[in-house]
Amino acid sequence: MPPDALRRAVADAAQDMQAGRGRAETVQVAADAVRHLVPGCDIAAISVLTRDGLDNVVCSPPSAGAPGHPEPGDGRSARSGVQLVDDLQYEIRQGPCHEAMTVLETVHSPDMAAEERWAGWAPTAVRELGMHSVVSHPLRSGGKVLGVLKVYGARTAAFGSDDIELVATFAAHVSVAIAAATQVEQLGDALDTRTLIGQATGLLMATYDLPADAAFAALARTSQTTNTKLRDLAAEVVRTRRLPDA
């Protein structure tokens, strides 16, 4: 792709990622974009740190895969393969994504089959994915690590220096988009929680003939004594119209 066209494509992709979507959809848009922007990329994946660990979003092209390996066009197979090799990375603490998130720099391997840095990981990755090249770059915003962007190529030496620089550049756009989408979701969750607690407080006021402060105090006290999150308890009160121990 000519340089001017590439710059326009990156700008268009960055704008598309900032279209006010939720985090999951933003990450999928980003994975789709990087797959089509980076020459030689056969599987693009983004791992995002969540409360439950790393969540993978995989984008693959609609073309045939290597015999005996997941079809690149089969997103489900590619996702399970990437998840398997990622789980192994963090279990044994070696591999390009683990290293990228540790050293906070781009990590590149042109031939994973001959890779000596990750002897416990690379053979499994080649076997499970049928990929031989990888570039991983950490996703960061405001000093916080958000996850990692990685591109896999079926050929050895699939990525040149320009491709590696493109991955790093695009990772910066992805980081900004994910951080923004996460903040929007968190604000939405906080608003939903506040609304739910307000509804539960109102129901307790009506059910037990309590003033607002006493109804909220009863809700908070029950949350503590039952070791239940206030939001979860409020949802139960809205459903049952009473406190669980009443």
pLDDT in tens, 144-182: 899 999 999 999 999 999 999 999 999 999 998 888 888
- Phi/psi for 46 (5° steps) reads -125, 125
Token code pair at residue 211: 């003033």
pLDDT in tens, 79-116: 788 889 988 998 999 999 999 999 999 999 999 999 99
pTM over 0.75: no
Token code pair at residue 89: 């990375």
Instruction: Count CB atoms within 10 A of the CB of residue 192.
Output: 11
Using CA atoms, how far apart are residues 120 and 28, in angstroms rounded to an integer? 29
